[in-house]
Chain A
Amino acid sequence: MAHDDLSGKDITAVSSAGVSHETAAPGTAVIPSETFENPGFPAHRPRVTDTDPKAEKKAERQVYTFFYLSIVGSIFAIASYMAFPIEDGDTGALRLHTMMLGIGIVLALFGLGFGAVHWSKSLMANHEGIDQRHPVRGSEETRARAVEIFKQANEESGFGRRTLVRNTLLGALVAFPLPAVVLFRGWGPQNENPVEMLEHTFWKKGARLTLDPSGLPIKASDVTLGSAFHVIPEGLNESEHRLEEKAKAAVLLMRLDPSKLKESAERTGWSYDGIVAYSKICTHVGCPVALYEQQTHHLLCPCHQSTFDVTEECKVIFGPAKRALPQLPIAVDGEGYLIAQSDFHEPVGPSFWERSSS
């Protein structure tokens, strides 16, 4: 009966025929009572290079030829480095330089590699070597001695006896890395709260909608039916935190047939004559939702294929995102340019823990 010594006394494996020769438990392994004999090594077969001196000489020649080639490769690489400059900024020259240098280096490496392997395979003695294995666990004496040493150390230090000394030591060891953890607070700016920052963008009442990246303002009359524009708020390019602001404020502007737009009551007046503006930052994990299908009025996020329906206030119709893209309420100023009525009414971009619609 094989006995299991981990979960103990009560589980018994099915009886395995025969007896194990090992001290360690074989668990549920079947130890057959009679087995085949290992037939031992088959006869060693000599290679051609072992028997034919001519073949041996030839192999030797091949090996040093490889090594010679390697030297040639290295020299070729150095020569190419000098002979093929790239400074004139021509991509053809760059390609040639990279190729010639690379070929030299590859030749140097392959010469060494194939030479050494060929040498080992054809010329070095290839008789089989055998090592004996020993159990990984230490011998009984070694283990006994180790236990004895620990006991003695315990005795001499009183580690087990002086419990208060031991416990305070452990406590101190646990506490001492904690300041290092606190120091990581310094990774983010002090006195700033990420939640507040996520709730506002660069848009504000009256800010003109401008083209990304040029920053030129957009006239409502320029937005023809069916067109789409990539938009940023005016002044964003000059802002100190251009990329951080852009990562929240990027907007897509589209003009649809007004009869196609289904607008909810609380959003009346957010669009202008079929022109609508929606956040371009995906509500999944924040990629720019950059693909507009004019026929279907769908916006597609290239990252994980969330799809938003512009006619239905950009609600999600496919993919992992859950929330609709936030809408930017727009209007037209006295000169006919598109402006924002306000900032977004909810945080844009990926969800975060503290976000709530109430």
Chain B
Amino acid sequence: MSTVTTPDTAPAPAPTQTSSQRSSTSRFTEAAANYIDERTSISGVVKEFGRKIFPDHWSFMLGEVALYSFVVILLTGTFLTFFFQASMAEVVYNGSYVPLKGVEMSTAMSSTLNISFDVRGGLLIRQIHHWAALTFIAAIGIHMLRIYFTGAFRKPRELNWVIGFILFILALAEGFTGYSLPDDLLSGNGLRIIDGLIKGLPVVGTWISFLLFGGEFPGTDIVGRLYSLHILLLPAILAVMLALHLVFVVVHKHTQWSGPGQTKDNVVGSPILPMFAAKAGGFFFIVFGVIALMGTFFTINPIWNYGPYDPSPVSAGTQPDWYIGFADGALRLIPPGLEFELWDRTWSFNIIIPVLILTGLIVAVLVYPFIEAWITGDKREHHLLDRPRNAPTRTAIGVAGVLFYAALWGAASSDLIATHFQLSIEGVIHVNQALLILGPIVGYLVTKRVCLALQKKDREIALHGFESGRIVRLPGGEYIEVHQPVDEYERWKLVDYNDYQPLMIRPNAQGKITSVQRLRAGMSRWFFEDRIAPVSPKEIERGGHH
């Protein structure tokens, strides 16, 4: 239960007070609270959670941004369902947008145009919905990076990492299905790519495509099916996962940074009522406001410029929404010629390999916490966050992963880069291929060095203090810079971290060394060979006198 360092100042209502003295509002509040509690025992919930403590740090708000944009998505999406018609039946457009009058298109497209041009506020809500979706996915992505680089996924939070990761995948799926609903030229082309991708998969591809599209591409079923996914199935799973995610946050209590007074056994911050609730509630409206601001002033997905889907025309520079870019980039970067006929069947490795690489990337992210736990063998609970520099190998792996993703992502714009900078498309692709391989390697090495250097610097500061910038001339004529010692609060932040050593292999009882042990010892060496131990009190004693 929460204790508060200073006693609550709000005086309890004095028992001598008679009801006649109290204002009618307070009497009403009391009666209402009593009415509800007698029917729900809600007072227990308030007692349990009302003063629960939440630590405060800007990076802890990223998950909140994701949550709030999801709420915005639900609100605006529900509005859109009242007007959108998920049908691919052909109609002749006859709405207010003059350039498309008389054009044949699907009902989905024409109803989306109606939302944009004939429903008051429709365009605004549609744009807010799309901006909220982009904010949602971006926030989840950055939130995930925060969790990774601070080691917040360690025991006991591994399962919540998995749940969060599922949320990320669901969000991508929501985004893609939503993007495809208006049945415009760009989204239809995106579906065409998905169709071709699925068809290229061995054994099952042709049939999966056939079933998904209800016959031949594009068919007349896909928008309706995506609609069921987009507004029913995926949001329902998403909401359940989200609830579970938050339940775990409560069960585990939030992590916090190490700091004066902040230990692995406590949580320091503000109580839910009133401080956290007011701040978080206010923050919800600010996030909503920023998204609404974007929806007001920045056009997004102007489908009226693209026109209805048609398998024949397409313009240069077609691109999916940015969060799908990494997959599109993987398709572009595959070296040429990787398709073979073998045993009377077609093996499209130009599709299979990118799909495998993407799956590998996803699986690697998913299982990372378990791998690190296996390498360290650390079974303790961890509630204090790591500063990224204090886990150099993890941080370096993270940077390598981000660069790998970035190279795939950049490749999705290869044609735009080429035309914009007047380069040859071949050149851009080759540079991107090189970046895909070299970027992560260089990024890994540099990051690790930088982390170790920063750790050394922290040691310096803990031992000898800050460089004050004041130069003093010694009697001997020598110049030195005066170092200002850090106070114990500052020092604490520099010395309180986890330090690991590589695992040594020893033969087991039978005198054997198994290959699993070797692997584990090798991984452990890779992780912890370069390590910089935190400053100990002894060192300070010794270092202080010179």
Chain A, 61-93, CB within 8 A of any chain B CB? 81, 85-87, 89
- Contact check, B263 vs A38: say whether CB atoms are below 8 A apart: yes
- Contact check, B312 vs A26: say whether CB atoms are below 8 A apart: no
- Contact check, A24 vs B379: say whether CB atoms are below 8 A apart: yes
Q: Does B300 contact A (CB under 8 A)?
A: no
B281, B501, B536 interface centre (most CB from chain A within 10 Å): B501
- Chain B residue numbers with a CB within 8 Å of A212 are 312
- Chain A residue numbers with a CB within 8 Å of B269 are 128-129
- Contact check, A129 vs B211: say whether CB atoms are below 8 A apart: no
- Contact check, A28 vs B377: say whether CB atoms are below 8 A apart: yes
* Complex CA distance for A97 and B216, rounded to whole angstroms: 42
Q: Does A16 contact B (CB under 8 A)?
A: yes
- Contact check, A244 vs B219: say whether CB atoms are below 8 A apart: yes
Q: Does A150 contact B (CB under 8 A)?
A: no
- Contact check, A29 vs B376: say whether CB atoms are below 8 A apart: yes
- Contact check, A136 vs B381: say whether CB atoms are below 8 A apart: yes
Chain A, 160-197, CB within 8 A of any chain B CB? 184-185, 187-189, 192, 194-195, 197
Give the residue name and chain of the A residue nearest to B508 (CB).
Answer: A10
Chain B interface, number of residues (Cβ within 8 angstroms): 151
- Chain B residue numbers with a CB within 8 Å of A353 are 199, 201-206, 345-346
- Contact check, B206 vs A285: say whether CB atoms are below 8 A apart: no
* Complex CA distance for A230 and B268, rounded to whole angstroms: 68
- Contact check, A321 vs B285: say whether CB atoms are below 8 A apart: no
Q: Does B457 contact A (CB under 8 A)?
A: no
- Contact check, B346 vs A112: say whether CB atoms are below 8 A apart: no
- Could you tell me the distance in whole angstroms from the C-beta of B493 to the nearest C-beta in chain A? 10
- Contact check, B2 vs A131: say whether CB atoms are below 8 A apart: yes
Contact of B283 among A89, A117, A322 (CB under 8 A): A117
- Chain A residue numbers with a CB within 8 Å of B520 are 7, 11
Give the residue name and chain of the A residue nearest to B262 (CB).
Answer: A38
Q: Does A286 contact B (CB under 8 A)?
A: yes
- Chain A residue numbers with a CB within 8 Å of B537 are 34-36
Q: Does B200 contact A (CB under 8 A)?
A: yes
Supposing A28-B501, A127-B5 touch, asked if A243 and B261 sit within 8 A by C-beta, the answer is no
Q: Does A258 contact B (CB under 8 A)?
A: no
Interface majority SS on A: helix, strand, loop or mixed?
A: loop
A232-254 interface bits toward B, Cβ cutoff 8 Å, 1 = contact, 0 = none: 10000000010110111010000
Supposing A10-B514, A89-B98, A113-B289 touch, asked if A29 and B219 sit within 8 A by C-beta, the answer is no
Q: Does B148 contact A (CB under 8 A)?
A: no
Q: Does B318 contact A (CB under 8 A)?
A: yes
Chain B, 495-519, CB within 8 A of any chain A CB? 495-496, 498-509, 512, 514, 516-517
Supposing A113-B284, A126-B270 touch, asked if A230 and B312 sit within 8 A by C-beta, the answer is yes
- Chain A residue numbers with a CB within 8 Å of B288 are 109, 113
Give the residue name and chain of the B residue nearest to A88 (CB).
Answer: B96
- Contact check, A81 vs B120: say whether CB atoms are below 8 A apart: yes
Give the residue name and chain of the B residue nearest to A304 (CB).
Answer: B332
Contact of A13 among B9, B121, B219, B503 (CB under 8 A): B503
Q: Does A329 contact B (CB under 8 A)?
A: no
Report the tally of A-B residue pairs with Cβ distances under 8 A: 419
Give the residue name and chain of the A residue nearest to B340 (CB).
Answer: A322
- Could you tell me the distance in whole angstroms from the C-beta of B321 to the nearest C-beta in chain A? 15
Contact of B285 among A6, A116, A189 (CB under 8 A): A116
- Contact check, B495 vs A36: say whether CB atoms are below 8 A apart: yes
Q: Does A357 contact B (CB under 8 A)?
A: yes
- Could you tell me the distance in whole angstroms from the C-beta of B457 to the nearest C-beta in chain A? 18
Chain B, 307-333, CB within 8 A of any chain A CB? 309-318, 328, 331-332
Supposing A130-B267, A352-B205 touch, asked if A98 and B533 sit within 8 A by C-beta, the answer is no
- Contact check, B206 vs A195: say whether CB atoms are below 8 A apart: yes
- Chain A residue numbers with a CB within 8 Å of B383 are 133
B471-495 interface bits toward A, Cβ cutoff 8 Å, 1 = contact, 0 = none: 0000000000000000011011001
- Contact check, A25 vs B377: say whether CB atoms are below 8 A apart: yes
- Could you tell me the distance in whole angstroms from the C-beta of B254 to the nearest C-beta in chain A? 10
Contact of B282 among A34, A85, A115 (CB under 8 A): A115
* Complex CA distance for A115 and B414, rounded to whole angstroms: 45
- Contact check, B117 vs A86: say whether CB atoms are below 8 A apart: yes
Give the residue name and chain of the A residue nearest to B524 (CB).
Answer: A28
- Contact check, A130 vs B268: say whether CB atoms are below 8 A apart: yes
Supposing A117-B286, A302-B316 touch, asked if A16 and B501 sit within 8 A by C-beta, the answer is yes
Contact of A133 among B264, B489, B503 (CB under 8 A): B264
- Contact check, A27 vs B379: say whether CB atoms are below 8 A apart: yes
- Contact check, B415 vs A25: say whether CB atoms are below 8 A apart: no
- Contact check, B332 vs A131: say whether CB atoms are below 8 A apart: no
- Contact check, B210 vs A305: say whether CB atoms are below 8 A apart: no
- Chain A residue numbers with a CB within 8 Å of B278 are 116-117, 119-120, 124
- Chain B residue numbers with a CB within 8 Å of A42 are 260-261, 489
- Contact check, A26 vs B332: say whether CB atoms are below 8 A apart: no
- Contact check, A29 vs B378: say whether CB atoms are below 8 A apart: yes
